[in-house]
Amino acid sequence: MAAAASAAACSASGSSAGPPRPGNTSGGGSGDGGSSTNTSTSGNAGSTSTGDDIGTGTGGSDPGPELVGDPKTCAEAAANKSYIGCDFWPTVTANIVWSIFDYAVVVANAGDEVAEVEVTRDGASVAHAEVQPNSLTKVYLPWVPELKGPDAGVCASGESISSSVRVDGGAYHLVSTRPVTVYQFNALEYKGAGGPDGKDWSSCPGLRMCPSSGDAYGCFSFTNDASLLLPSTAMTGNYRITGQQGWRSASMGGYAVITGIQDGTSVTVNLAQGASVIAGDDIPATPGGGSFTVDLDAGDVVEILGTPSSDLSGSLVTATRPVQVLTGMPCVQSPVGYKACDHIEESVFPAETLGKRYFVAVPTSPGGEVFGHVVRLYGNVDGTALTYPSGRPDGAPTSIDAGQVVDLSVVKRDFEVVGDHEFAVSTFMLGAEIVDRNTAPPDQKGDPSQSHATAVEQYRTKYVFLAPSDYDESYVDVIQPLDATIMLDDAPVDVEPTPIGNGSGFGVARIPLGPGNDGAHVLTASAPVGIQVIGYGSYTSYQYPGGLNLVLIAPPPPPPN
């Protein structure tokens, strides 16, 4: 079964508000991913009776002292296990964005010495950069067409990859002489401006007339997202896929992208019951509950594509050596039926780094509003009991099993969730039609993006993060103890956190971001906090966890029965 994004599903003509944007179809067929129906892709979701009350509990156990400091050397970074490191594997994922927009990684250096950065692919040098102390550098890299898939047409719609893909030597390898943080942007710019020095945007397809509408769409990317890349020293061989279900009415499947970082790695993918894989290269067609194995050397990439009616989430990836795993979709609406569609992607956290306590905060919307987001819960251990000290959101389960996924659909308030075993939480931003509803088309900002909630156990007291100047609005949402003192770029933050529940001791502070140091920011706190970084442009957005510790705090999940 082909997994392609049809023109009809990704845009709709005839709008009186100007040229249509990708994802403008208003209807979502029954069973489409991200619909307003609460779903569980496999297993028993436990009790899901209405529970949107405000609780008064005190939540889970104290997260304890922070275990990870700021590494000064690559050896310290390897030992400390956090998002800071010296060895990364940027990997292109499928996106129908026009290729004139740039795939890029942004490297931030919070140290006090210059970081020399070298990027190679399959042993050949691609780029070199110097990153000054307390600064960042954008490194533009060529797309890998086999992994990216085809571009949209001049009418900003088109088909994406239709089968699973293997590209030997398909990943980039980024090595730094000093500890750095790395984010990949697919794509970086959201409008036809900026890019490498001397870039000429005159050939942008959006400047040409769309025959079906008689208008030009304008040079906008429409489908962007960003991923926090994890250093290889924090990777493991165990991952529970934390993605989104396919978009059936648009024939768009989700994918998992696995990158080998050491030669001679054997990777087995045990599919969740609700998953189904489309064959491609040496990846076999595999139904839910099945498994397959691939062998990877350093830099080899497999992009495993699910059928549009299935969900790879909950599947278990096990490898004989550490690997990198990303999840995403070429384009998706959130929820289905609300424009517009956007590319989503994010790094998957190793299963051994998952925690038992999460605060899930609604992302700040354009203009500083707060409207909601889609939340998904992923089980990692059978019989995990879940409690909600701040009150249980509608449809939230009281227990979850390994490989089970529960879709809470649109959640409009912040909440706390605690398990007696580790589990995972992902969040998905809503379409511009919802989050920028007070702005008339075609000037709305926003669209879907994926991020992962960070376990309280992996919070930090210092973050170096990026909010690119390429976007119109950027925010950092800080989940913090109510009495914590926050400093941003050496200035005290005077935003009062909004309490989460009545008695958790935590709240969320929503902080607009200025330009910083060319988009680089440093946040410090008197107690461990978690952060989400958010940005908006015309019908596009990004969100990613701004960083986290990646201490091994959980056992590897047992193999499926």
d(CA 311, CA 559): 19
Q: What is the pLDDT of residue 69?
A: 63
Q: pLDDT category, 115, cuts 50, 70, 90?
A: very high
Single-letter code of the amino acid located at 323: V
d(CA 266, CA 9): 38
Instruction: Give the residue, 17 or 527, on which the prediction is more confident.
Output: 527
Q: Quick one: average pLDDT of 144-151?
A: 97
Contact between residue 119 and residue 139 where contact means Cβ atoms under 8 Å apart? yes
Q: What is the pTM of this model?
A: 0.88
In the predicted structure, residue 504 carries a pLDDT above the cut 60: yes
Whole-number average pLDDT of the chain: 87
Cα–Cα nearest to 439, from 490, 366, 502: 366
- Which residue's entry shows tokens 């609700």? 274
- Which residue's entry shows tokens 């599947």? 315
Cα–Cα nearest to 471, from 264, 190, 206: 190
Single-letter code of the amino acid located at 26: S
Instruction: Give the residue, 339 or 118, on which the prediction is more confident.
Output: 118
Q: What is the pLDDT of residue 2?
A: 34
Cα–Cα nearest to 489, from 506, 474, 499, 500: 474
Q: Which residues contact 199 (CB under 8 A, 6 or more apart)?
A: none
Instruction: Give the residue, 260 or 338, on which the prediction is more confident.
Output: 260
Contact between residue 307 and residue 252 where contact means Cβ atoms under 8 Å apart? no
Q: What are phi and psi of 77, to 5 degrees?
A: -60, -40
List the single range of 3-7, 186-190, 475-479 with lowest mean pLDDT: 3-7
Single-letter code of the amino acid located at 37: T
Q: Hey, what are 263's tokens?
A: 């030669």
User: Which residues share a beta bridge with 21?
Assistant: none
Positions of E strands within 291-404: 291-296, 301-305, 316-319, 323-332, 342-347, 355-360, 373-379, 384-387, 399-400
Cα–Cα nearest to 297, from 326, 266, 328, 252: 266
Residue 386 is given by DSSP the state E
Q: What is the pLDDT of residue 22?
A: 36
Q: What is the pLDDT of residue 68?
A: 53
Q: Would the CA dihedral through 157, 373, 162, 189 be positive or negative?
A: positive
In the predicted structure, residue 526 carries a pLDDT above the cut 70: yes
